[in-house]
């Protein structure tokens, strides 16, 4: 079993790591803001991609919602679904597109049950993914809150 799979099967550990990272980046925010978000983004991207690829098979969507999805990356779903499974999950819990793969939403749900803090967030409705943020650092987007803003033309305004 790979180190990534092992860690993902211990979501409580990953939840703690997320809590620490969130706290750490929030504390660092004044410094990052002074240095410049764009500049920090350029410095962070490679490390973020590398570390999250190993553990989560991250696709660098730039709007990380791992803590709300059982520390399971929703972008690894062949349909990129961010709000639960499609109607095609097989009776054995596998994906309809890749039959030998377990549905990532089945995994997400099972793992969320072992996450005391963020596990219940799995029922939150996620906005559509903003492809304009693809490739950028999700941590920086969290600090600037661009990951929560709706792009022009999407909403009523
Ligand atoms: S949700 Fe986005 S940023 Fe987070 S692991 Fe998946 S692709 Fe990467």
Q: Domain segments of the chain: what residues?
A: 3-125+133-144
Spatial distance between the Cα atoms of 20 and 17, rounded to a whole number of angstroms:
5
CA 108 vs. chain centroid, Å, equals: 11
Ligand 1 shell residues, CB under 6 Å: 52, 56, 58-61, 64-66, 73-75, 138
Predicted pLDDT of residue 1: 77
Spatial distance between the Cα atoms of 24 and 21, rounded to a whole number of angstroms:
5
Predicted pLDDT of residue 151: 75
Spatial distance between the Cα atoms of 140 and 146, rounded to a whole number of angstroms:
9
Predicted pLDDT of residue 88: 94
Q: Whose CA is nearest to atom 4 of ligand 1?
A: 64
Return the SS3 of 48: helix
Spatial distance between the Cα atoms of 47 and 142, rounded to a whole number of angstroms:
16
Mutate to test the pocket of ligand 1, among 7, 55, 58 (most ligand atoms within 8 A of CB): 58
Return the SS3 of 94: strand
Taking the model in full, what pTM does it have?
Answer: 0.91
Q: Which atom of ligand 1 is nearest to the CA of 73?
A: 6
With a CB cutoff of 8 Å and minimum separation 6, the contacts of 80 are 74, 129
Helix or strand holding residue 92 (H, E): none
Q: Whose CA is nearest to atom 5 of ligand 1?
A: 58
Predicted pLDDT of residue 153: 74
Q: pLDDT 10s digit of each residue in the chain, 157 long?
A: 788 889 999 999 999 999 999 999 999 999 999 999 999 999 999 999 999 999 999 999 999 999 999 999 999 999 999 999 999 999 999 999 999 999 999 999 999 999 999 999 999 999 889 999 999 999 999 999 999 887 777 765 4
Predicted pLDDT of residue 155: 66
Mutate to test the pocket of ligand 1, among 8, 45, 60 (most ligand atoms within 8 A of CB): 60
């Amino acid at each position: 079993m790979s180190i990534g799979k092992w860690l993902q099967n211990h979501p409580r550990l990953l939840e703690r790591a997320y809590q620490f990272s969130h706290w750490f980046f929030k504390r660092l925010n004044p410094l990052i803001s002074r240095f410049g978000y764009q500049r920090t983004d350029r410095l962070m991207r490679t490390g973020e991609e590398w570390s999250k690829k190993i553990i989560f098979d991250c696709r660098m969507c730039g709007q990380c919602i791992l803590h709300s999805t059982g520390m399971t990356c929703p972008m690894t779903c062949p349909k990129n679904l961010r709000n639960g499974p499609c109607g095609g999950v097989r009776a054995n819990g596998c994906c309809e597109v890749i039959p030998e793969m377990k549905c990532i939403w089945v995994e997400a749900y099972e793992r969320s049950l072992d996450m005391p803090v963020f596990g219940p967030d799995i029922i939150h409705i996620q906005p559509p993914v903003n492809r304009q943020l693809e490739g950028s650092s999700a941590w920086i987007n969290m600090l600037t809150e661009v990951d929560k803003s709706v792009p022009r033309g999407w909403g009523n305004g």
